[in-house]
Amino acid sequence: VARNRAPVPLVLLGLGTGIMMAVGMAGEPILEVYTRAGIWLWLFNYAIIHLCVLIISKRIPDKPKHIQIRGYPVFPMVAFTVLITILFGLLWTDDESVLLIKSILFIIAGLSLYGLLWVRFRREVTGPSVVRP
């Protein structure tokens, strides 16, 4: 059964962009820092995904893998290491690294709050979920 879900993330992205434009941030230099923070978090997301793939493959070794790659455990380790190196390199070489770190932490805090509120809202709407062992 297909459910009609509200596009909450798209609405928030559009609303956030609209508010930033309305307060006159278009073309401001700070916008470049926010863009770099978004790119940094995007790359960090991929690094965490590679780490999770590695952890899952170690915890559940008999789980069938959809993609067979030679040297499978090596690829996620190398990808994670390369991405983390790039991320620290981006922070190290940025002219406004303090502002970039503050922006990243602000975004993480905002997304965490959004996630906590979303989980709480979904529990109230759907009721407590049943966890089966």
Per-residue model confidence as pLDDT tens digits over 4-28? 666 777 787 788 778 878 888 777 8
**Looking at the predicted structure, is the pLDDT value of residue 38 above 80?**
yes
pTM: 0.60
70 compared with 50, residue with greater pLDDT = 50
Q: Can you give the pLDDT at residue 79? A: 80
Q: Can you give the pLDDT at residue 126? A: 64
- State the DSSP string of the chain: -------HHHHHHHHHHHHHHHTT-TT-THHHHHHHHHHHHHHHHHHHHHHHHHHHHHH-TTSPPSS--TTTTHHHHHHHHHHHHHHHHHHHH-TTHHHHHHHHHHHHHHHHHHHHHHHHHHHHHH-PPPP--
Per-residue model confidence as pLDDT tens digits over 77-123? 788 888 888 888 888 888 888 888 888 888 888 888 888 887 777 76
